[in-house]
């Protein structure tokens, strides 16, 4: 893989972990991520508005999965904000980022496609599960069910499920868009245009959830009047991360390498939580993160 691709993916890993760090620091609500998404979409707009008419060429089959993806992205931000309000970044972030790979592998096996999964990949999933088992423990002296049976763990798993759902919807839509006429638009800009449309869809659902609740409207007003700067940083980070990954794909010989390097964000996010936010630095947490990192590399390269 070219140095440019490696550099872009490393930057994107730190960017992804960084916007999650800012979000966790804000004890976020759905209103916070709504404002962040709106700002990120506005930042993205100048790049794709010149080719916005291409939306008219989107096949009709795109709109249903795109809408479903928007719903799950709304639920993603809802569960992510709930997880960060009650859990540590260094626990929630690794679980939420690693479990989608386990869910996808499990789904493939249940659907009878297990022969497409390598032994190395299965070992990687086992490492990820083992890391997630160790990670939340306060110490190695006894296992406490309360370390797992809590709101933070449940919300982190819901984040992972939503990630799988909207990622599958996005992947399906991108394949459907392969037939769109590209006379005046590059594949990269077409992907950014899709991102903008998807953002607008998820913004619509988030607005419904925020504006129709008194608490949601109060939190929205608080974000706009007191937290707008950090919301803007988060929004720029969200859109920036995706743009960097798309750019890196143009320099990589195989997308598998991009997927593998992206997992760098998991230990980065965990370390940020323990250092910047001064979260607990237990031995199980460090060992769990190390085990998960090994598993993720096995999955990404298997």
Q: Give the number of C-alpha atoms closer than 13 A to the C-alpha of residue 32, restricted to the C-beta side.
A: 25
How many Cβ atoms sit within 10 Å of the Cβ of residue 131? 24
69 Rama class: left (phi>0) / alpha (psi -120 to 50) / beta:
alpha
What are the structural domain ranges in the chain? 3-301
* pLDDT given for residue 222 in this prediction: 94
pLDDT in tens, 215-246: 999 999 999 999 999 999 999 998 888 888 77
User: Which candidate, 12, 168, 146, 10, places its Cα nearest to that of 76?
Assistant: 168
SS3 262: helix
pLDDT in tens, 127-179: 888 888 888 887 777 677 766 778 888 999 999 899 888 888 887 887 788 76
**202/78 Cα distance (integer angstroms):** 11
Burial of 91 (0-12, 13-18, 19+ CB in 10 A): buried
C-beta separation of 249 from 190 below 8 A: no
* pLDDT given for residue 241 in this prediction: 86
* pLDDT given for residue 99 in this prediction: 81
Q: Give the number of C-alpha atoms closer than 13 A to the C-alpha of residue 161, restricted to the C-beta side.
A: 10
- Give me 161's structure tokens: 């499920």
Q: What is the torsional sign of CA 266, 91, 203, 224?
A: negative
**170/176 Cα distance (integer angstroms):** 10
How many Cβ atoms sit within 10 Å of the Cβ of residue 295? 25
User: First and final CA of the chain: distance in angstroms?
Assistant: 17
CA–CA distances in Å: residue 186 to residues 46, 105, 181, 197, 246:
15, 32, 10, 17, 12
C-beta separation of 6 from 261 below 8 A: yes
- Give me 267's structure tokens: 């230990």
C-beta separation of 33 from 20 below 8 A: no
Token look-up 């994107």 returns 12
* pLDDT given for residue 164 in this prediction: 85
* pLDDT given for residue 221 in this prediction: 95
Return all residues near 222 (Cβ < 8 A) that are at least 6 apart: 31
Query: What is the mean pLDDT of each successive set of 10 residues along the chain, which is 302 residues long?
Result: 74 90 90 95 88 85 92 94 92 86 72 68 81 80 72 90 86 78 70 88 95 92 93 91 75 58 80 91 87 80 68
* pLDDT given for residue 189 in this prediction: 80
pTM: 0.87
* pLDDT given for residue 182 in this prediction: 60
**229/247 Cα distance (integer angstroms):** 26
């Amino acid at each position: 893989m070219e140095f440019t691709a490696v550099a872009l993916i490393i930057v994107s890993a730190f960017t992804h972990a960084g916007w999650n760090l800012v979000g966790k620091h804000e004890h976020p609500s759905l209103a916070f991520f709504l404002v962040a998404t709106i700002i990120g979409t506005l930042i993205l707009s100048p790049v794709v508005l010149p080719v916005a008419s291409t939306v008219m060429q989107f096949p009709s089959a795109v709109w249903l999965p795109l809408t479903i993806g928007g719903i799950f992205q709304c639920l993603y931000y809802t569960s992510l904000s709930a997880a960060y309000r009650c859990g540590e970044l260094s626990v929630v972030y690794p679980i939420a980022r690693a479990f989608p790979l386990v869910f996808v592998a499990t789904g493939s096996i249940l659907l009878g496609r297990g022969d497409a999964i390598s032994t190395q990949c299965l070992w990687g999933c086992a490492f990820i599960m083992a890391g997630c088992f160790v990670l939340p423990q306060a110490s190695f002296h006894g296992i406490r069910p309360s370390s797992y049976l809590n709101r933070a763990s449940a919300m982190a798993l819901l984040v992972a499920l939503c990630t799988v759902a909207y990622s599958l919807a996005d992947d399906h839509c991108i394949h459907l868009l392969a037939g769109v006429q590209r006379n005046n638009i590059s594949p990269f800009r077409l992907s950014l245009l899709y991102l903008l449309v998807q953002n607008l869809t998820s913004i619509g659902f988030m607005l419904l959830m925020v504006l129709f609740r008194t608490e949601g409207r109060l939190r929205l007003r608080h974000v706009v009047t007191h937290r707008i700067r950090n919301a803007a940083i988060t929004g720029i980070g969200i859109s920036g991360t995706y743009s960097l990954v798309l750019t890196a794909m143009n320099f990589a010989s195989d997308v598998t390498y991009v997927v593998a390097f992206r997992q760098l964000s998991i230990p980065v996010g965990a370390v940020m939580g323990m250092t910047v936010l001064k979260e607990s630095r237990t031995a199980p947490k460090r060992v769990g993160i190390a085990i998960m990192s090994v598993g993720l590399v096995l999955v990404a390269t298997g």
